[in-house]
Amino acid sequence: MSMGAVDVGTTSSSGEGGGRPVPRPSALTRPFWDACRVGRLTVQRCTRCQGYVFVPQEFCRHCRSTTLTWVETAGTGRIVTYTVVWRPQTPAFTAPYVVAVVELDEGYQMISNIVGSDAAGAAVGDRVRVRFVRVSEAVTLPCFELAA
């Protein structure tokens, strides 16, 4: 399920990210970031025990197998917990913003931002869907918005 990215139009001191900290893809994480850039949310899945592995690892955290593959996920889930940040770490972030732990329908969790005009109304248990936010030419972040 491919979803378009929103361009937030920010740039860092090097021309990308607005001074905002931007992830630096490694050989291990590059498949994740490449998929995000084209509007796909992926996760590693163990071919031995079928467990999902996030954040990217060299081995399965469930059975220790090294036979991991990348699979696309639905990009939907629910908010497990969240906080509203009123004092950002750097001026590159505009407060307030919402940071949440999202449990994806596949059963794994990730920390991300809740975005959109109704983000301030987020609550534990709310359904969310992925919304890709382009922060540089190379990096698109998987954020989430409240599901209708």
What's the pLDDT tens digit per position in 91-142? 888 899 999 999 999 999 999 999 999 999 999 999 999 999 999 888 999 9
Q: What pTM was estimated for this model as a whole?
A: 0.85
- Domains recognised in the chain with CATH numbers: 5-9+25-146 (2.40.50.840)
Backbone phi and psi for residue 18, each to the nearest 5 degrees, phi listed first? 65, 25
Run of H or E residues at 104: strand 97-104
Token digits of residue 123: 């609550």
CA 8/CA 2 separation, integer angstroms: 19
CB neighbours of 94 closer than 8 A, spacing ≥ 6? 88
Task: State the pairing for strand pair 68-72/52-53.
Answer: unpaired
Token digits of residue 22: 């931007």
Model confidence over 35-78: pLDDT tens digits? 999 999 999 999 999 999 999 999 999 999 999 999 999 999 99
Quote the pLDDT of residue 30.
96
Quote the pLDDT of residue 94.
86
